[in-house]
Structure 1
């Protein structure tokens, strides 16, 4: 019967201190009408929504955001005008513009690998690279599902999740603990040594992402992953 369960103010979720993420910087509205692809959204470490026009775009966005050279990512930036190979003036909207740590701006076109050749994507990028001003982009790349294999996507998802709840003071505590351990240690042991539980695990993931901690082997980040200070690893490698 309607109204059977009374409202209890004590059961209301505690939203004190919470605020919604900032709005997307996309310059065009993404159509939600599609029979063949998803329209996912993610929240980036800058606490801003990024809208994607396909699941492949979502995977590419996560991997770009997790890369240590990327400091910002904007989807669907303002369209740029260019002259095609037939002399006609056209406009193109990149899927992403990634701002890199070295100051370069990477324009990204996302396509399934089966469509890259048939749709002339590389030829398009060659034209754009010659005509787009450096204020928009200095580097250009096509990214397909081959750039986002399962292990890389797993780590990227983990890294972005950990960065959403950044804690510089906790990160520094874990860095100091790692510096006091001779050689490589599993993430599980490093977390146990901190006594800080799940928050310490996320801090270790952030330290791996920013290059403070290096991994001894490839594969997905897990509790069994061997890590050590990157400076220590480099020193051993030079011997």
Structure 2
């Protein structure tokens, strides 16, 4: 049975279609947003690929806010008009608003998405979007998701301000850029040192110098050029 998702947070927008719970073929849930533009609310997802996409959005500073399952828009399939609900509407800091579909590549091929995608994009632009994007597991790569998940996990813990201050001082002592294992060793925080490093990134006070590498002891973090506010 389909149940309409209800907000547990004041001001949380409601998805435009029901979120089906208890389905054997689709895992549903919610993840916390760390973005000020999202009001730090819980974001609903349908499917693990959508969850992974949310994690990537959360770590992209160019993304101001996003809405899961926004209002539907009309598109023409060449014969008749149809209604389409995107998985996400994403607002970017350059002023663009993009409709996004998240779908496994096998389903994209089986349903023939490459054939009618241009028509959906035309409908999206007519509805006021600046573009339409289709994301599959090809674009949502495992390493990028793993790094994002690590940073997102830190938001579920209360940061120890003394440890955070220690790691800030150490990072500044290194000139605002350093290898994680060297920062850990210099901090004297021992087992808590790595979490303190991750917390700096989660709070927007540091960033991975190379997002294409694993976030581990061999990663380099640095002070961001444009620090974002921490929740």
Above 0.5 in TM-score?
yes
Greater C-alpha Rg: 1
1:115-194 equivalent positions in 2, closer than 5 A: 115-133=107-125, 136-163=128-155, 177-182=170-175, 185-191=178-184, 193-194=186-187
Distance 2:157 2:64 in 1: 17
Q: Which is worse superposed, 74-83 or 47-56?
A: 47-56
Q: Distance in 2 between matches of 1:153 and 1:84?
A: 34
- 2:30 corresponds in structure 1 to 41
Choose the corresponding residue for 1:220, options 188, 194, 214: 214
Runs of 5+ unmatched residues, structure 2: 1-7, 226-231
- For 1:204, the equivalent position in structure 2 comes to 200
| Deviation for aligned residue 1:191 | 4.5
Q: Classify 1:56/1:172 alpha carbon distance in 2 versus 1 (closer, same or farther; 3 Å).
A: same
CA–CA separation in structure 2 for the residues paired with 1:195 and 1:135: 55
Partner of 1:107: 99
User: Alpha-carbon deviations, 1:56-103, whole Å to 9, x = none?
Assistant: 2111221222222212121111111122222x1110000111111211
Q: Please say if residues 124 and 132 of structure 2, whose CA atoms lie closer than 8 Å, have aligned partners that are also in contact.
A: no
Task: Return closer, same or farther for 1:135/1:174 CA change in 2, 3 Å cut-off.
Answer: farther
1:85 aligned to 78, 82, 92, which one?
78
Runs of 5+ consecutive residues of structure 1 not aligned to the other structure: 1-19, 232-239
**Contact between 1:30 and 1:53, CA under 8 Å: does it hold in 2?**
yes
Query: In 1, Cα distance between the equivalents of 2:95 and 2:205?
Result: 19
1:138 Cα deviation from its structure 2 partner? 0.9
Distance 1:105 1:204, change over 3 A: same
CA RMSD across the alignment? 3.3
TM-score normalised to structure 2 length: 0.73
Does the CA contact (< 8 Å) of 1:74 and 1:96 recur in 2? yes
Q: TM-score, normalised by structure 1?
A: 0.71
1:194 and 1:200 in contact (8 A); partners too: no
